[in-house]
A and B are shown apart, each in its own frame.
Chain A
Amino acid sequence: MSDALLALQCISAGYASQPVFADLDLRLTPGQFAALVGPTGGGKSTLLKLILGLLPCTRGSVYRLPQMTMGYVPQREMIDWRFPVTAEQVVRMGRYRHTSYWPWATRADRREVVALLDRLGLTPYAKRHISQLSGGQQQRVFLARALVARPQLLLLDEPTTGVDLKAQHDILHLLHELNRAGMTILLATHDLNTIASHVPWVICFQHGVIAQGPPETVFTPGILRRTYNADMVVLHQDDMTFIANRSLIHPHVAQQTTLAHRPRKVNDGVLR
């Protein structure tokens, strides 16, 4: 426990009479960069809410390093995009803990917000209404709001959903930079392919931890089948991993892919 930033012990949680998971054990150490993957409705967002203290556990204990600060980037669909705020105003909200009691922004607030907008390449969009930004820009604005509070643990819920490939890459690159600078990061996603090539530690989750470890050890058809209740195809090519639901692949495409990359079947459906 002493080296953990966060430790969940024998946790049960859920809503009203519907338990989402039970007897869950999970720990995060300082500097860890982990992805929580699993199907929609499998309890990923509930787990994030529990860690954040937004949802109480019905059993077990949650240990958070004393004085630990957390930042949270919610799912894009949780945001009211019609709310009248600009990108800059959203980022400024994140300064809540550090700002004065006065209703206006202090000089320090403005300095911090401007610096962060600049670092994330958002300066030209600072005065724009949030609905006038692209998906990637919107995601960076909400990331900036979390970062402006200088959190030790950053939690992100589906940060790459609804953004284009370039924006996905930019966001994950930025998260890597933050992690290298010492920030602990846990992101929840169902985007397995992006995670497989970007995140060093994966937690497969469906109403509990199915398996965890580096992507190359966790992304096996067996573990993925238990996580998603579906047959998954795992392809390794040029140090990259591709995962697809077998039932969603057109047989013709599957055959072409197999022929083009000449993969070799090694075990339990894993093609190399």
Chain B
Amino acid sequence: MAFFVEPLQYQFFVHGLVAALLVGSLCGLLGVYIVLRQMSYIGHGLSHAVFGGAVVSHLLGLNVYVGAGLWGFGAAVLIHRLTARRDLHADAAIGIVTTASFAVGVALMSRVHRFTQDFEAVLFGNVLGVSEHDLVLIAVVTGLTGLAVTALYKQLLFSAFDEAVAQVAGVPTRLVRLLFTFILALAILASMQVLGVTLIAATIVIPAATARLLTNSFSTMLVLSTTLGGVTALCGMYLSYYVDIASGASIVLFAALLFVGVLGVRRQS
């Protein structure tokens, strides 16, 4: 018991733990749609694109969260527009838009050295530096995402499974895709401080992929992935505390280990 209680005496750890739990669950929930729509690369790409927006808005003296969020959403819309063309595949469009956007951030960072340290947290995460303000933001985004995913359950399920038929049936598929992208950009924004843009994609994809191995039911997969996301985040935080490694990395490594374990058990059965 002392194993779990001891780190809780530190305020920064409690903040980090709550933030990781919320972010892990949030990414796990959204990951279901990302994995099932075979959009894993967009999660990875958007998180990198958001970084460019964060650096630019910081330089312009704007609110980093608002600027990065708008930038991420803009990048996603641009990707969708490019992939609407038949001569360009989605992976190419994502690769071009998001790496160019990330490169903008890196270029500006290398040019203006004064905020390099601040943005290391954005790149690699700093869960132990989570403030109360960050916690409120993460909680609000998690709550809104939960509500949106519940309200759009039928639309998201139908368009994830069969977009063309969903459109024929009356689902506003384009709007649903845009809304989902907006929610994803918000989630990435909220997770940025905790996990860092380089590791967010893994926390989106791994719990959902693990959940898919465990169930053939969509609704069960949603619950499982959300739970696995939260649990692996908690376990990763304790691992980080006791082994003294970066928390974002320990969360991702724990989730990957769980995936490998489940895969091994599934192969044997």
Contact = CB atoms under 8 A, between A and B. Distances in A.
Interface of A: 15-16, 49, 52-54, 70-72, 74, 78-80, 83-86, 89-90, 93-94, 96-97, 99, 103, 129, 145-146, 149
Contact of A96 (B36, B160, B166, B218): B166
Contacts of A80: 36, 38, 161
B106 interface: no
A96 B215 contact: no
Given A54-B168, A129-B216, 18 more contacts: A16-B87, A54-B164, A72-B168, A79-B162, A80-B161, A83-B160, A84-B217, A84-B221, A85-B217, A90-B161, A93-B154, A93-B158, A93-B161, A94-B169, A96-B166, A96-B171, A97-B169, A149-B169
Contacts of B215: 84
Q: Tell me if B's interface is mostly helix, strand, loop or mixed.
A: helix
B211 to A, nearest CB: 9
The list of the 6 closest CB pairs from A to B, nearest first, reads A103-B153, A129-B216, A96-B169, A72-B168, A93-B158, A16-B86
A54 B165 CA distance: 9
Contacts of B166: 93, 96
B153 A15 contact: no
Interface of B: 36, 38, 85-87, 150-151, 153-154, 157-158, 160-162, 164-171, 212, 215-218, 220-221
A103 B164 CA distance: 21
13 contacts: A16-B85, A16-B86, A53-B167, A70-B168, A72-B165, A80-B38, A83-B161, A84-B216, A84-B221, A89-B217, A90-B161, A99-B154, A103-B151
Contact of B164 (A71, A78, A90, A93): A78
Contact of B36 (A49, A78, A83): A83
Contacts of B161: 80, 83, 85, 90, 93
Contacts of B169: 93-94, 96-97, 149
Nearest to A53: B168
Please indicate which of the listed interface residues A16, A54, A70 has the most CB atoms of chain B within 10 Å of its own CB. A54
Nearest to A132: B216
Contact of B167 (A54, A78, A149): A54
A101 to B, nearest CB: 8
A214 B216 CA distance: 45
